[in-house]
Structure 1
Amino acid sequence: MTLTVWAWLALGAYTIHICEEYFFNWRDWARAVIRLPVTWADFGVVNGAVIVLGIVQAELAGSLTLIPLIYSALLLINATFFHVGPFLKTRGRFSPGLISAVILFYPIAIGTYREATLQGALGLGTLLGSIVGGALLMAMPIAFLKLRDRPYFRQS
């Protein structure tokens, strides 16, 4: 498969992941388990942005290898630190999104990195850039959630 195919699969997987999180009440889980002050509106905005980014990365996959790799790193980070890790830490408490993270995110992200390797496009710089980019994308909404209640950022 090409990087473009893997990139579109990643977007499809993320769409399924969002549905799983929504229907199994990720918001209440996130508030209780990882202490994120998230609302359903926050969930919708962030995941809407993730879908737009998914379309962008799929469209650019043929010409900018780093972009779908950043998205794949986002999948790996999300799966590991926001689903599998908390599931293990809580000794088996279900994390909404866990099923799609394990069944879809890991294989698709690994497939994307493998394809980039086969194309000779995955050097150390690209690998590190993708990890840093994915981590920044994952951290951004969390940082915004935590900063928005500080006096400097309040708009009232």
Structure 2
Amino acid sequence: MTLVELSWLAMAAYAVHILEEYTFDWRDWARGVIGLPVEWTDFYVTNAVVVALGMAQGMLAPTLPWAPLTYAALMIINAVFFHILPFVTTRGRFSPGLVTAVVLFLPLGIAMFAAASSEGRLDLATSIGAAVGGALLMASPVVMLKLKDKPWFVQRR
């Protein structure tokens, strides 16, 4: 499969991942296990952005390989740091999204980097940029959740 085809599969995989997280109550898990002050509205908005980014990276894949590779990095980081590691550190407590993270995110993310490499579209700068971009995308909603109740950011005065 090409990077372009895989990029659209990644978008579909993220949709299934969101469904798994929602169905198995990711919000309460995130509050209880990783201490995120998250509400369902935060979940909805964040995942709407992820879907929009998924569509954008799919459309940009033919000309900008860093876009789908950043999305692939986001999926890999999400899988490892927000699903697999919490599952391991809590000695097997189910993390909503774990199944799709392992079955879809890891294989697709790796396949996207492999496809970019085989197509001659992967170099060190693109790899580093994608990893940094994926990490920033993953961190941004978490950081905003932690900051939103700080006085400088509160708008209800």
Deviation at 1:84, TM superposition (A): 0.1
Cα distance in 1 for partners of 2:106, 2:154 equals 38
After superposition, residues 23-42 of structure 1 pair within 5 angstroms as: 23-42=23-42
Which residue is 2:63 aligned to?
63
2:60, 2:38 → 1: CA distance?
31
Letter in 2 for 1:103: V
Q: 1:131 maps to which residue? A: 131
- Following superposition, the deviation at residue 24 of structure 1 comes to 0.2
1:3-14 counterparts in 2 under 5 A? 3-14=3-14
Alignment of 1:103-114 (within 5 A): 103-114=103-114
Instruction: Give, as a single letter, the amino acid of the residue that structure 1 aligns with 2:119.
Output: Q
Report the Cα distance in structure 2 between the residues aligned to 1:60 and 1:124, rounded to whole angstroms: 20
Superposition deviation, residue 50 in structure 1:
0.1
Shift of 1:3: 1.1
Unaligned runs of 5+ in 1: none
Which residue identity lines up with residue 133 of structure 2 in the other structure? G
Instruction: Summarize deviations over 1:83-135 as a string: whole Å, max 9, x none.
Output: 00000000000000000000000110111000000011111111100000000
Aligned to 2:47: 47
Give the aligned CA root-mean-square deviation in angstroms: 0.4
Distance 2:77 2:107 in 1: 13
- Per the alignment, residue 2 of structure 1 pairs with 2
For 1:52-75, what per-residue CA distance to the aligned partner results, in whole angstroms no more than 9, with x for missing partners? 000000000000000000000000
Residue by residue over 1:7-63, the C-alpha shift from the partner in whole angstroms, topping out at 9 and shown as x without a partner, is 000000000000000000000000000000000000000000000000000000000
The count of residues paired between Structure 1 and Structure 2 equals: 156
Cα distance in 2 for partners of 1:94, 1:2 equals: 33
TM-score, L = length of structure 2? 0.99
Q: For residue 64 of structure 1, what is the amino acid of its counterpart? A: L
* Secondary structure in structure 2 of the residue aligned to 1:37: coil
Question: When the two structures are superposed, what TM-score results if normalisation uses the length of structure 1?
Answer: 0.99
Distance in structure 1 (CA, Å) of the matches to 2:117 and 2:94 = 34
d(CA) in 1 for partners of 2:130 and 2:73? 6
1:134-145, aligned counterparts within 5 Å?
Answer: 134-145=134-145
How far apart are the structure 1 equivalents of 2:128 and 2:76?
Answer: 14
2:97 maps to which residue? 97
